[in-house]
């Protein structure tokens, strides 16, 4: 048995960032991970052919690059091996009529493309981009602060002082609007609206769901203003750097070390028990980077002692599932809408607001969507180190899918477990790409498909293949994430804390929950 100040359940990036900060503040920290490698949803592996490195989950590291943790520890992370690669051509969408629209850091390029759809939209884009830094100050402050009365009051006061009553109401309206409502008020072209709305689908916001507008707004304006970054050689550059930084500070990471119980005594977390029977003591904190449903009756066999909390954790709602398709290619897709599309980090295939809404509703109803939303990542267009010379990897995220398949909206695939039908459904997704990039199938050297069930097997936090670890709808966000009264990473058990995408500020690579909790525990 060993004694530590803080013990972490799981080695995702939030846990590693939290452990590193505490270790640098003098805490004795230990991270236990059930898998042979760290990273959670931020991993890179060769899953098709040797030499082809595929991001299994997150690819876009812009949130980490802009995070409070990176701002504080940029030098240490760089020394520990962190490397970013910038993408100036950030994201685009292709459409059935052969047209496309994309956002690049050169505003003249973006506005020029917009003018082909609508001069009114080009003018609106310039206005939004011109006012973004002023708006971003308040939104980033909200998203980068703890969910406490003090921080919310400070954010509200700063907003009112700088924008006045009308400006404050405009910001509140943006935070509460659905993607469709905001897009209809702001733009004319359906192509432009669809391009931006696709970002809402990344965070469980179909076009008509309230409080989803802020995500397409932030993603589009941030990409316009700052560009996008991915990891040199793979997203796991973040994980390796965090591990190196933690080790240098004296922290420890244990792999193949599954925690099966968080031990408590007198309403206080005291340590953990591993699957092999080992026990370890935590004198200050046990910090669990797990989905809420993993607590009561599992890691906490007798519950937390608070039936309301336990019930809320069991009822925590997850978003629809995702399929990941990884391809090794001998060349990038030949997008028939335009060769320039080969330069973009992301190409969305999500042709309209109505199609996205229909796809989402089909998935919620347990149906395989007839036309899923596709996020086609082309990381080797900006980082050739991920594949052998002249060859490429393709990262395809298929949204939104049911965890359990009850039927097929297209009437082609009989309901069955994902293990039996995943390859057929992957064929449907790839055929959709082939419509926009003829000849793709002839470029494929290797293929690997991860169904929603596979994703959960790899990482139990991705319940039902939910890659954002919980719906971000307003009833389960902000002060309600993961449940009312527990938005500050607290639980009813003293010294037991919950972090990760299921907690405030939600999904993404920003390490917000881990870093803010670490600051809270260490006093700075």
* Dist CA 428 CA 151 (whole Å): 47
- Which pLDDT score is estimated for 452? 98
* Same domain flag for 402 and 438: yes
CA-based nearest residue to 374, from 402, 394, 403 = 394
Q: CA–CA separation, 76 vs 19, rounded Å?
A: 14
Query: What is the spatial distance between Cα 183 and Cα 115, in angstroms, rounded to a whole number?
Result: 17
Residue 431 belongs to domain with CATH number:
3.90.660
Q: At which of 439, 458, 477 does a domain end?
A: 458
Q: What is the DSSP string of 347-373?
A: EEE---HHHHHHHHHHHHTTEEPSS-E
* Residue 49 within a domain: no
181 and 118 inside one domain = yes
Mean pLDDT computed over 69-98: 98
The predicted model gives 293-316 an average pLDDT of 98
Are 273 and 294 in a shared domain?
yes
Domain co-membership, 373 together with 255: no
Mean per-residue pLDDT of the chain: 97
Q: Three-class SS of residue 230?
A: strand
pLDDT of residue 1: 79
Residue 48 in any domain: the answer is no
Same domain, 132 and 242: no
Percent with pLDDT over 90 in the chain = 99
Q: Tokens 């051509």 sit at which residue?
A: 89
* Segment 235-255, tens digit of pLDDT: 999 999 999 999 999 999 999
106 closest CA partner among 223, 19, 229: 223
Q: Does the residue 478 lie in any domain?
A: yes
The pLDDT, as a whole number, for residue 2 is 95
Using the 3D structure, point to which of 195, 226, 257 is the last residue of a domain: 226
Tell me the per-residue pLDDT of 161-209, one tens digit each, with 9 for 90 and over: 999 999 999 999 999 999 999 999 999 999 999 999 999 999 999 999 9
Residue 211: pLDDT over 90:
yes
Q: In degrees to the nearest 10, what's the CA dihedral of 215, 221, 222, 223?
A: 110
* Bridge pairing between strands 321-329 and 392-401: antiparallel
For the chain, how many structural domains are there in total? 3
Q: Is residue 56 part of a domain?
A: no
Does the bond joining 505 to the residue before it have cis omega, within 30 degrees of 0? yes
User: Per the structure block, which two tokens stand in for 88?
Assistant: 């100036």
Report how far residue 425's alpha carbon sits from residue 411's, in angstroms, rounded to the nearest whole number. 12
Q: Are residues 36 and 99 in the same domain?
A: no
Is the pTM higher than 0.85? The answer reads: yes
35 and 98 belong to one structural domain? no
Tell me which of 193, 208, 226 is where a domain ends. 226
Number of helices and strands in the chain (H, E)? 15, 20
Q: Assess whether 214 and 270 both reside in one domain.
A: no
Q: Assess if residue 348 is contained within a domain.
A: yes
Q: Is residue 55 part of a domain?
A: no
Residue 329 shares a structural domain with residue 310? no
pLDDT digits (tens, 9 = 90+) for 347-359: 999 999 999 999 9
Residues 351 and 481 in one domain: no
Residue 50 lies in a domain: no
Question: Read out DSSP for 282-321?
Answer: EEEEEEE-S-GGGTBTTTBTT--S-HHHHHHHHTPPPPPE
φ and ψ of 169, to 5 deg: -65, -35
Q: For residue 47, tell me if it sits in a domain.
A: no
CATH (domain of 507): 3.50.50.60
Please tell me the total number of residues recorded for the chain in this structure. 524
* Residue 487 neighbours by CB distance under 10 Å: 19
Angle between helices 214-226 and 119-143 (to 10 degrees): 100
Say whether pLDDT at 325 is over 90.
yes
- Residue 204 Cα distances to 40, 186, 223, 357, 506, angstroms: 20, 22, 20, 11, 12
Q: What is the DSSP letter of 280?
A: E
511 and 433 within one domain:
no
Give the pLDDT score at 492. Answer: 98
Per-residue pLDDT for 149 more than 90? no
Residue with tokens 């072209």: 189
User: Same domain for 332 and 416?
Assistant: yes
Can you tell me the mean pLDDT for 280-298? 98
The whole domain housing 500 covers: 2-42+62-83+234-316+469-522
């Amino acid at each position: 048995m060993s004694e530590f100040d803080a013990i972490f359940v799981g080695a995702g990036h939030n846990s590693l960032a939290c452990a590193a900060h505490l270790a640098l503040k003098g805490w004795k920290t230990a991270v236990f991970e059930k898998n042979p490698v760290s990273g959670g949803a931020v991993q890179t592996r060769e899953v098709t052919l040797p030499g082809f490195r595929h991001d299994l989950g997150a690819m876009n590291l812009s949130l980490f690059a802009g995070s409070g943790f990176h701002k504080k520890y940029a030098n240490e992370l760089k020394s520990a091996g962190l490397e970013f690669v910038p993408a100036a051509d950030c994201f685009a969408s292709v459409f059935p009529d052969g047209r496309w629209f994309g956002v690049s850091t050169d505003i003249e390029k973006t506005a020029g493309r917009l003018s082909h759809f609508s001069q009114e939209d080009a003018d609106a884009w310039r206005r939004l981009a011109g006012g973004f830094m002023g708006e971003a100050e308040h939104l980033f402050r909200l998203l980068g602060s703890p969910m406490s009365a003090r921080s919310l009051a400070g954010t509200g006061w700063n907003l009112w002082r700088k924008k006045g009553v009308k400006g404050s109401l405009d910001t509140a309206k943006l935070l509460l609007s659905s993607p469709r409502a905001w897009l209809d008020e702001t733009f004319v072209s359906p192509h432009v609206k669809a391009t931006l709305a696709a970002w809402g689908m990344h965070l469980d916001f179909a076009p008509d769901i309230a409080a989803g507008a802020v995500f397409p707004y932030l993603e589009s304006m941030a990409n316009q203003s700052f560009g996008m970054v991915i990891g040199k050689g793979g997203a796991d550059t973040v994980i390796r750097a965090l591990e190196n930084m933690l080790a240098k500070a004296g922290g420890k990471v244990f792999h193949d070390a599954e925690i099966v119980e968080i031990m408590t005594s007198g309403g206080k977390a005291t340590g953990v028990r591993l699957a092999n029977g080992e026990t370890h003591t935590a004198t200050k904190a046990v910090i669990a980077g797990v989905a809420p449903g993993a607590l009561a009756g599992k890691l906490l066999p007798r519950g937390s002692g608070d039936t309301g909390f336990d019930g809320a954790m069991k009822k925590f709602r997850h978003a629809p599932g995702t399929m990941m398709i990884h391809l090794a290619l001998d060349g990038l897709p030949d997008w028939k809408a335009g060769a320039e599309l080969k330069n973009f980090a992301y190409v969305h295939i999500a042709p309209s607001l109505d199609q996205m809404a229909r796809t989402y509703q089909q998935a919620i109803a347990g149906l395989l969507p007839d036309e899923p939303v596709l996020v086609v990542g082309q990381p080797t267009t900006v980082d050739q180190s991920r594949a052998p010379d002249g060859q490429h990897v393709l990262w395809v995220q298929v949204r939104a899918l049911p965890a359990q398949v009850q039927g097929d909206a297209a009437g082609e695939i009989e309901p069955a477990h994902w293990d039996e039908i995943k390859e057929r459904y992957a064929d449907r997704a790839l055929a959709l790409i082939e419509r926009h990039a003829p000849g793709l199938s002839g470029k494929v050297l290797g293929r690997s498909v991860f169904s929603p069930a596979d994703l959960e097997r790899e990482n139990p936090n991705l319940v039902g293949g939910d890659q954002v670890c919980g719906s971000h709808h307003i009833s389960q966000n902000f002060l309600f994430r993961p449940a009312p009264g527990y938005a500050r990473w607290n639980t009813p058990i003293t010294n037991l804390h919950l972090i990760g995408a299921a907690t405030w500020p939600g999904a993404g690579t920003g390490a917000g929950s881990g870093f803010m909790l670490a600051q809270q525990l260490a006093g700075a």
